[in-house]
Amino acid sequence: MNGSEQPFSEQPNSGHPSMQPVRLAPESDSSAPWLPELRTIAARALECAGGIEPALALAIRLGQELPYPMEGRTLQLWESLATVGACNLSVGRTIEPHLDAVSILHQARQQSPSEELQALAVAEKSCWGVFAAEGRDHNLRAHRHGNGWVLTGTKPWCSLAGRLTHAIVTARTDNARRAFAVNLKDPGVSAAAAGWVALGLPDVASGPVSFEQVPAVPVGAPGWYLDRPGFAWGGTGVAALWFGAATAVARRVYAHCAGREPDQIAMLQLGLVDGHLTAARTALALAARQADSGGHPGSVSLSAARARAAVVHASESILELASHAMGPEPLAFDADHAARVADLTVYLRQDHAERSIAAIGQQLLAPGRLPW
């Protein structure tokens, strides 16, 4: 994912709202050289809708084409994710973990270019996930075995584990939490086949995975996975997907208002939608600049958290405004809109809601000086 491969060829852009790129830069900025790529990404994401295998193939391709975060083109990366999110969130939910894993491996190699990490070069047909969720009833342990490591136990919330080839998995060692790379085709890996009943993201099943003496390669030092600056920016990349889906919902509200004679309430609702989108877009664009400029780890974490919180607030507000503005009809008869609302509602719960906002408050108080 470094932009060194041949770029996408430009595809014709139809008038479908989902085909329009989602921009985070100011609206007057139409000179970004990657605009043709955004249009092509939109076209390919729409082609993948309804099929996990095409989405996995697109993930592999984008992993070879898109830039890494924090290396000068984070805005392009997040606009690409937002554009996919506007097209189809199931496709986005399939693509984002692979891009995150590729970025994590890249960061780890930069820090410690070991032979084992070099051997983990992303193969042409390998597709990765990132399994880092924790659960009270699930415990995954890593321990030494000969000259290497093995994983034993269960990991919750492992999206598409049965369809991926590899994953970066966090596990407990004797004294820390550490990331490891594993081959999901190892016979010691067993993904739960049932249990996902969500109406949102129905094709992206997320269930527990059991590991039994599965060989694993350390990715970074103990604690590195959570402490690295890329951890915060990876979470903001997910928010870019949410922002894209919220933009698509907003476009549906705009089409509804433009297709009739709007009353004062409809214009108020449209104005509120615009305000929420503008606030979230501004926060993401600022975060992208800060990601590329480096900075103190504390400021990185706060900037990323603010951007993510702005997107969550905007998305939840736009979902409510859309239902008030348009009533039940699009939820009942517009398949794309109904699926997008269900997908975004489920996907947003990956955020920790009030706990995420409380964490921002804690960061603001920690330095002991006025933050604004």
Clarify whether residues 197 and 233 are in a common domain: no
State the DSSP code for 209: E
Question: Which pLDDT does position 5 carry in this prediction?
Answer: 41
Phi, then psi, of 142 in degrees rounded to 5: -115, 135
DSSP structure string for 338-366: HHHHHHHHHHHTTS-THHHHHHHHHHHHT
Clarify whether residues 182 and 234 are in a common domain: no
Q: Is residue 8 part of a domain?
A: no
Write the CB contacts of 115 (distance below 8 Å, at least 6 apart in sequence).
none
- From 287, 166, 157, select the one nearest 229 (Cα to Cα): 287
Question: Which pLDDT does position 115 carry in this prediction?
Answer: 73
Clarify whether residues 30 and 161 are in a common domain: no
Clarify whether residues 198 and 261 are in a common domain: no
- From 92, 5, 76, select the one nearest 37 (Cα to Cα): 76
Q: Is residue 117 part of a domain?
A: no
Clarify whether residues 211 and 169 are in a common domain: yes
Clarify whether residues 290 and 330 are in a common domain: yes
How many Å separate Cα 196 from the centre of its chain? Answer: 20
- Each residue's pLDDT expressed in tens, for the chain with a length of 372 residues: 654 443 433 333 334 556 689 999 875 556 688 999 999 999 999 999 878 999 999 999 999 999 999 999 999 999 999 999 999 999 999 999 999 999 999 999 888 777 777 666 555 678 999 999 988 878 899 999 998 999 999 999 999 999 999 999 999 998 889 999 999 999 999 998 778 999 999 999 999 999 999 999 999 999 999 999 899 999 999 999 999 999 999 999 999 999 989 899 999 999 999 999 999 999 999 999 999 998 777 788 899 999 999 999 999 999 999 999 999 999 999 999 999 999 999 999 999 999 999 999 999 999 999 999
Q: From CA 261, how far away is CA 281, in angstroms rounded?
A: 28
pTM tops 0.95: no
**Angle of CA points 342, 345, 348, to nearest 5°:** 145
Question: Which pLDDT does position 178 carry in this prediction?
Answer: 95
Tally of structural domains, the chain: 3
Q: Is residue 134 part of a domain?
A: yes
Question: Which pLDDT does position 175 carry in this prediction?
Answer: 84
Q: What is the CATH number of the domain that holds 178?
A: 2.40.110.10
Question: Which pLDDT does position 18 carry in this prediction?
Answer: 61
Q: Is residue 5 part of a domain?
A: no
| Phi-psi category of residue 39: left, alpha or beta, with phi > 0 → left and psi -120 to 50 → alpha | alpha
Helix (H, G, I), strand (E, B) or coil at 259: coil
Helix (H, G, I), strand (E, B) or coil at 295: coil
Write the CB contacts of 72 (distance below 8 Å, at least 6 apart in sequence).
292
Contact 179, 219 (CB under 8 A): yes
Phi, then psi, of 153 in degrees rounded to 5: 135, -160
Clarify whether residues 254 and 308 are in a common domain: yes
DSSP structure string for 105-155: HHHHHHH---HHHHTT---TT--EEEE---BTTB-EEEEEETTEEEEEEEE
Ordered alpha helix ranges (H), the chain: 35-48, 52-65, 74-87, 89-111, 115-118, 224-227, 229-258, 264-293, 297-326, 329-333, 335-348, 354-365
Q: Is residue 4 part of a domain?
A: no
Question: Which pLDDT does position 299 carry in this prediction?
Answer: 82
Q: What tokens were used for 254?
A: 């705009």
Q: Is residue 2 part of a domain?
A: no
How many angstroms separate the Cα of 109 from the Cα of each of 22, 35, 114?
Answer: 32, 30, 7
Clarify whether residues 256 and 355 are in a common domain: yes
Clarify whether residues 137 and 245 are in a common domain: no
Q: Given 182, 199, 219, which residue is the final one in a domain?
A: 219
Residue 170: domain span: 127-219
Question: Which pLDDT does position 10 carry in this prediction?
Answer: 37
Q: What is the CATH number of the domain that holds 307?
A: 1.20.140.10
Clarify whether residues 172 and 267 are in a common domain: no
Clarify whether residues 347 and 242 are in a common domain: yes
State the DSSP code for 168: E
Q: Is residue 283 part of a domain?
A: yes
Q: From CA 104, how far away is CA 41, in angstroms rounded?
A: 23
Q: How many CB atoms lie within 10 A of CB 18?
A: 22
Clarify whether residues 259 and 318 are in a common domain: yes
Question: Which pLDDT does position 50 carry in this prediction?
Answer: 77
Q: Given 162, 187, 219, which residue is the final one in a domain?
A: 219
